[in-house]
Amino acid sequence: MQRNKNESRKNISHSPVSFFPSPQNRRSSRLANRSPAETARLKRVRRAKANDRERNRMHMLNLALEKLRDVLPAFPDETKLTKIETLRFANNYIW
C-alpha cells in the first residue's frame, strides 16, 4: 500500500535545535557588542562610501551622455542638449 506525499512528510522529524544561529540572532549579537560611538562612526563610513559610489555612477553617466552628444548630429544653434533631450534625440535618430 502506497502512502501519499503528505503522510510521508508527517513522519519526518525535524530537530528544533539548529547548528547555525538565525540571521536575526547573529545580527543582534553583533550590534549589541558595538558602542554608540562605533555605530555612529560605521554609519558615517557607510554613508561616505555610498556617496562615493553615487558620485562615480553619475560621473560615468555624464561621460557616456557627453560621448553620445559628440556622435549625434549637431543642432544649428550648438546648444548643449539636456540628458533627457540627448536620450530622446538619440532614440529618434536611431529609429
Summarised one tens digit per residue, pLDDT across range 45-83 is 999 999 999 999 999 999 999 999 989 887 666 788 899
Q: What is the rounded CA–CA span in Å between residue 47 and residue 41?
A: 10
All domains of the chain, ordered by start, with CATH? 21-94 (4.10.280)
Q: What is the DSSP letter of 16?
A: S
Cell of residue 1, nine digits: 500500500
Give me the pLDDT at residue 27, please: 60
Summarised one tens digit per residue, pLDDT across range 24-40 is 666 666 666 889 999 99
DSSP helix/strand/coil, 77? coil
C-alpha count within 13 angstroms, C-beta hemisphere, residue 42: 8
Q: What is the rounded CA–CA span in Å between residue 40 and residue 59?
A: 28
Give me the pLDDT at residue 28, please: 61
Whether the Cβ atoms of residue 71 and residue 94 lie closer than 8 Å to each other = no
